[in-house]
Structure formats: C-alpha cells, structure tokens
Chain A
C-alpha cells in the first residue's frame, strides 16, 4: 500500500518536472509563444477578409474561424514541444530515467494545455472583438466547451507530434495525421459554441458537449496506452 502511494508520488513528481521544464524553456524563449499568438490573430484577420465585412455573416462564422485559428496556430506548438528534446538529444536521457514513461506524455500534455489554453483565451478575446460577438448569457458553458475542445485538440496533437517531430517532413505530417482525427472535436466545439452564442437550443449544445466529453475520455486513455510503444521506437 505504501509502495503504491510512493509510486504514485514519484509519477506525479515526474509529470510536474516535465511540465515545469517544458514551460520554463518555452517562457525563456518568449519568441515562440508570441509568434504563435500572432499567427492565430493573423488567421482571424484573414478569415475576416475571406468572409466579407457583413457583421451578421462574421458573427455566424465566428466559432468556426476561432477554432481553425487555434488549430493552425496550435499545430506549431505541438512539434515545438518535442523539438526541445530533439535539439540536443535530450530525449534519450529522458527515456533512461527508470519509471513509467507515460508520465512524460502527461507532463507534456499539461504544458501544452497551458500553452494552448493561453493561446485560446487571447484568440477568443481577439475574435470576439474582430467579429463583433457579444458575451453570451451562457458564458460558463461556453468556457466549458472551449476547455473540452482544447483537451481533445491538445491530447491528439501532443501524441501525434511525438511521431511527426521525429520523422522526415514533420511540418506536413502532423497536420495530415491530426486534422482528420480532430473532425469530431471541431464539429462538436464549433456547433456547441454556435448554439450557445446564438443563446438558444440548449438541448443541441448539450448533445455536442456529451460527445466532446466522450471523445476526450477515449483519447486521453488511448494515447496514454499507446505512448509507450510510440516513444520507444
């Protein structure tokens, strides 16, 4: 019993150490985060041009534009998270620490969650201003939807980047693997956001939220199970 608790404590320490290390290196090379956020906002502006200046059209398209901006900008973050390990061959020492290797994945997942979470907050605020979206009455639920969508996005993004970042043509491989897999998350998050911003159809949003929860649980578990096989190869 104490051994189990000891192991749990060790795993938690490792998760925390990885997340701290990723966030610290990210914070110190500020260029990374600023560039990614700038890209996200640029994409929003481009969507504005593509959809025309009509306020109602923009408002209707806002959830889709927001999520795509976060998706395209976030993809850069996922590969970066492994680039830190690969630049100086730090992945090998990481694999040589005794103990469970899924903790490496969990740590990176938490760090990327924070990274993408901040990105999401900034892009959403920018998007609400640019696309003239009012704060919806159901804003706590909107935040929950954003968080659930982000979990799905970051889980699969962090997982696929562990392969793509170590392959040839990583820039194209990650989106190619990731985007089709994320179709359910994007649909659910966009539709739920749209329903909530439209301040109606609580029922419809509820169904999408349930789907998001199921998706998140399934893929958080599956990626943790598969990570050991992927990282050792």
Chain B
C-alpha cells in the first residue's frame, strides 16, 4: 500500500541546450532581418514600407503552425491523457495568440499608410481577428477552470473544434469580402524579396519552437513545484 503521491509524479523537463538554441535563434533572427532589409530594394509603390513584410508574413505563418500544434496536442491529450500534451497545447496557444496579436498590429501599421485607415474589413485582416478571438476564448477558458484534469479535457475539446474551424472561418470571411492584394507567397514574388522572406520564415519558426518549448518547461516546473509543496505540506513522501 504505497501512496503514489510522490513529488516526482511529474517529470520536469530539462532545459538542456535549449538556452543555447535561444541565443542561436536570436542571432539568426538579427541576421535574417538585416539580410532581408539590406538586400531588398525599395518597392515601386510602397517604398520602405514594404520592409514590414519580413515580420508580418512570417508572424502570420506562425499563426498557422501554432493552430496546427494546438490541434495535434489537444487530440493527443484526449487520446493519451498525459499532462504534458495539455501543457504543450496551452503553450502553443499562448505563443500563437501573441503572434496573431503581432500580425494584427503589423497589419494595421501597414494599412494606415497604404489604405489610409487603421482598420479595414478586408478578408485576411478580418479572419485573422476572428481567429485571434478563438485563441482568446481558449485561453480564457483555461483561466476560468482550476481543476487541471477538467481544464485539460475541456480546453482540448475547445482547441480541436477551434482548429477545425480555422479553414472554415478563413473561407467564409474571404467570400464575404475580398479586396486584399494577392496573397504574399514566395512564388508570386520578385526573387529579390523572396530570399529575405524565406530566411525569415525559418527564423520565425525557430523562434516559435524556442518560445513554446521554454513556456512548456515553465508550465511543467510550475506544476511540479505545486505538487512538491503540497506533498511537503501534508508530510507525505
């Protein structure tokens, strides 16, 4: 009759070489931003305003990655029930919400000089805002629920449904109104811009991976600390 209530119930992930990875990512980001800005000529219509492309487009790319991660980790949690999947989904959502917020702000900064208004009900801007609100709902749900198992199950369900909805929101808003310029994908772009964009896609992906990983470590450590203090308070193992 041994109590399984030991503090080691949660394996705390090791930081390992992740801090090093962080420094590398920082250096790489500085380089890739410099490279992109230095090598691209000023745009014919937009001038230097075009440079925001190198943070705006990669940031919105991170949004798609994090939605996919929330979907996968939520399904894994529902299937396997392991705490780590829940916290990974949550960390991805937090990082995702941050990047979506950034994308929106950048879009507005770009929109003001381009369209003359801070906000326009353009298809991509609008659907990004809606998806941002889906993320906010997910994070609000987590904040409102104290019991971790319930929080895990519920937010996983919300995460899966929210991710399923991403393409539908995208399409419906697009149908509703399309006056955005053609999507900025590397194929439709002048090669002088393309390399700068590609290298920044990579840099931002590394950044997202780094942030999610560190956020996840912090969440696991917080949970383990909670358990240890509780075990100590009860005078258990």
Check A191–B176 contact: CB distance below 8 A.
yes
Which residues of chain B are within 8 angstroms of A219 by Cβ–Cβ distance?
161, 164
Indicate whether A222 reaches chain B with its CB closer than 8 angstroms: yes
B94-142 residues with Cβ-Cβ distance < 8 A to A are 130-131, 133-134, 136-137, 140-141
Q: Are A181 and B165 in contact (CB under 8 A)?
A: yes
Please give, as numbers and ranges, the residues of chain A lying within 8 Å of B131 by CB-CB distance.
180
Chain B residues lying within 8 Å of A177, measured Cβ to Cβ, are 137, 140-141, 158
Contact at A233–B149, with CB atoms within 8 Å? yes
On whether the beta carbons of A226 and B176 are closer than 8 Å, the reply is no
> Which of A173, A180, A214 contacts B141, CB < 8 Å?
A173
Cross-chain contact A215 with B168 (CB below 8 angstroms): yes
Most chain B CB within a 10 A radius of its CB, from A176, A208, A223? A176
Closest to A231 in B: B153
Cα A188 to Cα B168 with chains together (Å):
11
Residue of B162, B168, B171 with highest tally of chain A CB at under 10 A: B168
Range, interface on chain B: 20 to 34
* B176 x A163 contact (CB < 8 A): no
CB atoms of A229 and B78 under 8 A apart: yes
A218 touches B164 (CB 8 A): yes
> Residues 150-183 of chain B: 1 if any A CB is under 8 Å from the residue's CB, otherwise 0?
1011101110111011001101110110000000
B173 to chain A, nearest CB (A): 7
Find chain B residues with CB under 8 A from A187 CB: 172-173, 175-176
Tell yes or no: B5 within 8 A of A by CB. no
Contact code string A8-40 (vs B, CB < 8 Å = 1, else 0): 000000000000000000000000000000000
Chain B nearest CB: distance from A160 CB in Å?
8
Asked if A167 contacts B141 (CB within 8 A), the reply is: yes
Q: Is the CB of B133 within 8 A of A180?
A: yes
A138 to B165, CA, bound (A): 30
User: A230 near B154 (CB under 8 angstroms)?
Assistant: yes
Task: Check B130 against A173 for contact (C-beta < 8 Å).
Answer: no
Nearest Cβ on chain B to A197's Cβ, whole angstroms? 17
Residues of chain B with a CB closer than 8 A to A179's CB: 133
Interface membership of A211, Cβ < 8 A: yes
Whether A180 touches B134, Cβ cut-off 8 Å, given contacts A233-B150, A233-B153, is yes
| Residues in B whose Cβ lies below 8 Å from that of A184 | 165, 168-169, 171-172
**Distance in angstroms between the alpha carbons of A181 and B141 in the assembled complex:** 14
Q: A180-B136, A191-B175 are in contact. List 10 more A-B contacts (CB 8 A).
A: A163-B141, A179-B133, A184-B172, A188-B172, A207-B175, A218-B168, A223-B161, A229-B156, A232-B153, A233-B150
B contact residues vs A (CB 8 Å cutoff): 78, 130-131, 133-134, 136-137, 140-141, 144-145, 149-150, 152-154, 156-158, 160-162, 164-165, 168-169, 171-173, 175-176
8 residue pairs bridging A and B, Cβ less than 8 Å apart: A167-B144, A177-B141, A183-B169, A211-B175, A222-B161, A229-B156, A232-B153, A233-B154
